[in-house]
Amino acid sequence: MMVSFFDQFASPSYLGIPNIAVAIALPWVLYPTPPARWINNRLITIQGWFINRFTNQLMLPLNVGGHKWALLLASLMIFLITINMLGLLPYTFTPTTQLSLNMGFAVPLWLATVIIGMRNQPTIALGHLLPEGTPIPLIPVLIIIETISLLIRPLALGVRLTANLTAGHLLIQLIATAVFVLLPMMPTVAILTAAVLFLLTLLEVAVAMIQAYVFVLLLSLYLQENV
Amino acid sequence: MALAQKKLMDVKLGQLPSWLGTRDFTPNGLLGSVRGGYERYYNKYINVKKGGIGGVAMFLAGYIALSYLWEYDHIKHDRWRKYH
């Protein structure tokens, strides 16, 4: 009876209450609303500074029409970063390892950018399907290729986030198991593996943040093309 | 002081059932007590002039403990399976 390493990704529930409900609600608790004060306390100031910085950064390439998406993109970014980082704590459950959640984010938002583009500027939106300067014989093939690449974007967005986080958690669990098993037999190898585990954990922290950022960045890119 | 206004830590053991009878267990009441607990924690550890990592760290430690509690059943079965 094999202990499957994929068991950690099964959606857990306790007494009928799914843990994912608490895991998804948790980021809301961690970012309190700033009170209406002129100068806030240290923690709220840091939080506000962070959010302002990356909303600013995110809105740089977008035109004024795209700024309507500021709230959505900034809150999505905070949500994904928090969920990814909380998933690195021991025994916790990471909702973003579930493909359903990531597709639930990717498909509607991508579809929104496409529909906005098609409604407001259909010529330009369709014009993105053919890059400038393509040789005439290649045009039909290229349009098909670009359409496929357009349609595959939501799948890529969702699967990218899922796969990165799942792979990271799996690697951590595998290498940690290796360290535990090796410790009585070959302590030196175990220490080396523990060093690898430490570096891997650092990588996972970085990946957690980067993947959230990439998700939101690509969305803003798709928005930029279309809005 | 009337029984209903006492805090849990001031209630004597024999008075506990009657104290529980005075508490509000309707959904609104439960929500109110959760909100009250959140405000007490927030105002004591987060909403202070020079808040540090302590407030957030305690909360996350509580979350880890809660997650362990929830996953204990699964972990127990994993341990049993590993050692037959």
Q: What is the pLDDT of residues A153-198, one digit of tens each?
A: 999 999 999 999 999 888 888 888 888 888 888 888 888 888 888 8
Residue B84 pLDDT: 61
Q: Is A14 in Cβ contact with B49 (below 8 Å)? A: no
For residue B7, pLDDT beyond 80 = no
For residue A2, pLDDT beyond 70 = no
Q: What residues have CB less than 8 Å from B32, skipping those under 6 apart?
A: B24
Residue A3 pLDDT: 58
Å from B55 to nearest chain A CA? 10
Q: For residue A92, which residues of chain B lie inside 8 Å, CB to CB?
A: 63-64, 67
Å from B54 to nearest chain A CA? 11
Nearest to A41 among B48, B64, B67 (CB): B48
Residue A159 pLDDT: 92
Q: Which of B39, B71, B72, B74 to mutate to test the interface with A (most CBs of A within 10 A)?
A: B71
d(CA A39, CA B23): 38
Q: Which of A128, A116, A103, A112 is nearest to A215 (CA)?
A: A103
Q: What is the pLDDT of residues A134-164, one digit of tens each?
A: 888 989 999 999 999 999 999 999 999 999 9
**Average pLDDT estimate for A30-41:** 88
Q: Which of A154-158, B7-11, B38-42, B59-63 has the lowest mean pLDDT?
A: B7-11
For residue B16, pLDDT beyond 50 = yes
Per-position DSSP letters for A133-190, written without gaps between them:
T--GGGHHHHHHHHHHHHHTHHHHHHHHHHHHHHHHHHHHHHHHHHHHHHHHH-HHHH
Q: For residue A89, which residues of chain B lie inside 8 Å, CB to CB?
A: 60, 63-64, 67
Q: Which of A28, A29, A43, A93 to mutate to test the interface with B (most CBs of B within 10 A)?
A: A43
Q: For residue A25, which residues of chain B lie inside 8 Å, CB to CB?
A: none
Q: Which of residues 10-29 of A touch B (CB under 8 A)?
A: 12, 14, 19, 22, 26, 29
Q: Is B59 in Cβ contact with A30 (below 8 Å)? A: yes
Query: What's the complex ipTM?
Result: 0.82
Q: pTM here?
A: 0.85
Residue A1 pLDDT: 41
